[in-house]
Structure 1
């Protein structure tokens, strides 16, 4: 196993990387609900009593979302669904709010997938900080969904804060938390390793037999063979060849010692 490797999904960057992934997943769920919910704002239904193609639902607040509206009570319909299309133009600000919310969801899906991958794969800490910046951008895009309140619909009628707007606030907070936690994730410790190093115990040393054989050849060279026999039957053989000149030097040194 290569140095610094860890088993798959063993959180090489620590538990904070898992927290980032969980928060990003919940944030994405909030973003998706904000985009699909038809009650981002509510408007009194009296304002649409004489509008063609609208059902008469007096004394209630009709919901309007980023991509759908409440055609009938508790029934969400897309704005562009043929003859069910909402007959009033919501304006450019509504289009912008919807576009920013869609961008937040698209980038949120990508960032969420990457955050889960980081729980399994070690990477450069700069990449994780870049992911934190991405979460921050998603938070900004999500916040721009509140441009809805500047739409022509809300200029002509009084728009009230509704469910999806609350979900949008929750999504903004979660993306902000994911961004903050990403900058706290620690880098992968490359000195760590899960490789198993061979360990020789005292018992193994007692059951090792060494045999050294020296052979002097006719040309004056000497071959030293060392055999190490373990108790389990395995054997290691080491062979060393010494030249004639080296043997003469050894002889001179022995003579001096005497």
Structure 2
């Protein structure tokens, strides 16, 4: 029997269903946060020519001859000439830093949540998980600092992804705080079966003497196997003194 913190059988979920759900949601939030950080349409802006183009934390949208694609910051483009900067400075640099922090912490946290399916952790680990998920939610929201450098812009698809990721990470934090303490593995138990009393006969031999059981008496014995299955034996005493034995096996 495994007791205390440590490894368990794979997918035994010693902490219940909450860590698995939190890990799955955390993975979704991590992907959305990555999309927000790499999107060139985090914000939607109008250039001096009145054309609506996207601007992102790490890149921006560039259109030429009817085709639009993402350009990394630092690459000169006349689309934003004399209007938008290309370097990481001020609020843009802060938004980038918070975006990276959210992605790094988010990746580690959903991995730890998944590990709880096969390992028992102390309660403090889930308090740390909940706090870290909350930190991720705040960090990804702080990528909105990009608005400070581009105050005339409107929200874009990248910012929407960041907002959704923040909401999901808050849900992960709540699930982590709700996670119960681990349960120790159950020890296989075997029910006691009435024993036959031996008697001494005249020939000096020992013979078992059946225990007197009233007709119609039903004795049920359950045995829990190491693999979690339960073997149930039902013994019915018949009026003629015979016994009917039925055996059932139930998988956990």
TM range (shorter): 0.5 to 0.7
Matched, 1:127 2:140: no
Contact 1:21–1:116 under 8 Å retained in 2: yes
Secondary structure, in 3 states, of the residue corresponding to 2:27? Answer: helix
Q: Does 1:186 align with 2:180?
A: yes
State the partner residue of 2:85. Answer: 89
Aligned residue pair count: 190
Residue 11 of structure 1 deviates from its aligned partner by 0.9
Shift in Å, 1:97: 0.6
CA distance in 2, matches of 1:62, 1:12: 50
Distance of 2:191 and 2:3 partners within structure 1: 18
Give CA deviations for 1:83-141 in whole Å, capped at 9, x if unaligned.
66976425411111111011100111111111111122111011111110011111111
Determine which structure has the larger helix proportion and give its number: 1
1:175 equivalent in alignment to 2:134: no
For 1:235, the equivalent position in structure 2 comes to none
Superposition pairs for residues 71-86 of structure 1, below 5 Å? 71-72=62-63, 73-80=67-74
Q: CA RMSD in A?
A: 2.7
Q: Secondary structure at the match of 1:166?
A: helix
Following superposition, the deviation at residue 6 of structure 1 comes to: 4.1
2:155 aligned with 1:161, yes or no?
yes
Moved over 3 A (4+): 3-6, 83-88, 197-202
How far off its partner does 1:143 sit?
1.1
Distance change (3 Å), C-alpha of 1:194 and 1:38: same
Q: Mark the CA change 1:44 to 1:128 in structure 2 (over 3 Å): closer, same or farther.
A: same
Pick closer, same or farther for the CA change 1:197–1:162 going to 2, 3 Å: same
Distance in 2, Cα, partners of 1:36 & 1:8: 35
Gaps of 5+ in 1: 50-58, 211-258
Structure with higher Rg: it is 1
Equivalent-residue separation in structure 2 for 1:106 and 1:136 (angstroms)? 14
- Residue 66 (1) aligns with residue 57 (2): yes
Q: Which residue of 2 aligns with 1:26?
A: 28
| Matched-pair contact (CA < 8 Å) for 2:129–2:173 | yes
Q: What CA distance in whole angstroms lies between the structure 2 residues aligned with 1:3 and 1:98?
A: 44
Contact 1:6/1:194, CA 8 A, preserved across alignment: no
Which TM-score applies when normalising by structure 1?
0.66
Deviation at 1:18, TM superposition (A): 1.4
Aligned with residue 43 of structure 2, among 12, 34, 41: 41
Residue 29 of structure 1, CA deviation: 1.1
Write the deviation string for residues 195-245 of structure 1: whole angstroms up to 9, x where unpaired.
43455644xx45x989xxxxxxxxxxxxxxxxxxxxxxxxxxxxxxxxxxx
Greater strand percent: which structure? 2
Q: 2:18 aligns with which of 16, 20, 24?
A: 16
Helix, strand or coil at the partner of 1:2: coil
